[in-house]
């Protein structure tokens, strides 16, 4: 039997894989190509002048329905606004009585569901209503979360239980209910779970032991789900934000005023992040442009994930 190793000894140029080579791909010139499946239509690069909106079209969320938990304010609301701008209909869940913005201003079908993500019966009812009222669920962003900035030795059982219920169980079962709906539709979809830089590193002046542990659990959940849900073309990724201006960070800074300077000076980019800084990455992960992206964590930290600039 002829050795495949000898046949595939000729290096295959990068241009052959990525469609930038002007001459046809030739199995005779590059024997290894005979073992590759044909390139799918979605990966062919359009080069004609009239076909230069390929990326814009792939980034569109037009016709999709996106569920966003914790969407009444802060990061969740910014993500809702960005998804609406890309054309997605919205089902927004939160424990607040109403969102901080009038959803009718978003220009898409948007409904608000007052829901506690720690109550399974309420979650099941809400996701059932969303499926009936929107006819489909394509994406889910789990942005609901709480934080506790407290020394390790001062944590109580109830503190930890509350963090686990909201940040871990709430994320787990919202992802489960969304994935069930997407699986039944057979259309594929995307889950974006909001983690935190606190799952990667200790934060200067903050005591986030239990919070960091819950967000670490979210990242591990993502890696497991990315593999388990892949057969149904359900992609799962996480976003790990750094210091973002939200009600939670404001509360932490009120409790420790010295954190104000840390939030601005610690990131190498020299500023605190805004909720809108997260939106572009989330829209990408929700869109068809990310059709080959799953099992990834995107850190949006102003460079803090890489280290701090020495003073």
Choice among 88, 131, 190, 196 that is catalytic? 196
Task: Provide the pLDDT for residue 195.
Answer: 98
Task: Provide the pLDDT for residue 205.
Answer: 84
Distance CA 296, CA 195 (A): 12
Query: Other CB atoms closer than 10 Å to residue 111's CB: what's the count?
Result: 15
Distance CA 113, CA 59 (A): 27
Choice among 131, 211, 284, 299 that is catalytic? 211
Q: Which of these, 60, 169, 149, lies nearest to 108 by C-alpha position?
A: 60
**Whether 196 is catalytic:** yes
H-run or E-run covering 112: strand 110-114
Choice among 215, 240, 284, 287 that is catalytic? 215
Task: Provide the pLDDT for residue 51.
Answer: 57
Give all domains of the chain, ordered by start, each with its CATH number. 56-243+274-300 (3.40.50.720)
Distance CA 89, CA 49 (A): 31
**Whether 211 is catalytic:** yes
pTM attached to this predicted model: 0.84
Rg (CA), the chain: 22
**Whether 261 is catalytic:** no
- Return averaged pLDDT per consecutive 10 residues of the chain, 311 residues in all: 47 50 52 60 51 80 98 96 97 96 92 98 99 98 94 96 98 99 97 97 90 98 99 99 88 80 89 94 98 98 82 55
Task: Provide the pLDDT for residue 5.
Answer: 45
């Amino acid at each position: 039997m002829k050795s495949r190793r000898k046949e595939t000894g000729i290096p295959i140029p990068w241009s052959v894989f990525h469609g930038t080579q002007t001459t046809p791909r030739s199995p005779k010139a590059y024997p290894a190509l005979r073992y590759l499946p044909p390139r799918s239509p979605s990966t062919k690069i359009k080069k004609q002048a009239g076909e230069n909106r390929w990326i814009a079209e792939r980034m569109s969320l037009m016709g999709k329905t996106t569920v966003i938990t914790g969407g009444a304010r802060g990061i969740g609301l910014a993500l809702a606004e960005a998804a609406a701008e890309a054309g997605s209909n919205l089902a927004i869940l939160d424990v607040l009585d109403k969102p901080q913005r009038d959803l009718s201003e978003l220009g898409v079908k948007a409904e608000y569901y007052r829901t506690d993500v720690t109550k399974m019966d309420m979650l099941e009812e809400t996701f059932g209503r969303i499926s009936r009222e929107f006819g489909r669920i394509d994406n889910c962003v789990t942005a609901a979360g709480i934080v506790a900035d407290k020394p390790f030795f001062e944590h109580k059982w109830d503190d930890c239980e509350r963090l686990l219920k909201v940040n871990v169980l709430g994320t787990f079962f919202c992802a489960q209910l969304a994935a069930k709906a997407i699986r039944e539709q057979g259309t594929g979809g995307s889950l974006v779970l909001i983690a935190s830089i606190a799952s990667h590193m200790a934060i200067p002046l903050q005591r986030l032991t239990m919070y960091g542990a819950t967000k670490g659990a979210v990242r591990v959940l993502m890696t497991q789900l990315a593999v388990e849900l892949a057969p149904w073309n359900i992609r799962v990724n996480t976003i790990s934000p750094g210091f973002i201006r939200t009600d939670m960070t404001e509360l932490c800074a009120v409790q420790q005023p010295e954190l104000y300077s840390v939030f601005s000076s610690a990131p190498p980019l020299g500023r605190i992040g805004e909720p809108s800084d997260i939106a572009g990455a989330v829209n990408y992960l929700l869109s068809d442009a990310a059709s080959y992206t799953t099992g990834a964590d995107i850190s949006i930290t102003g460079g803090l994930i890489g280290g701090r600039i020495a003073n």
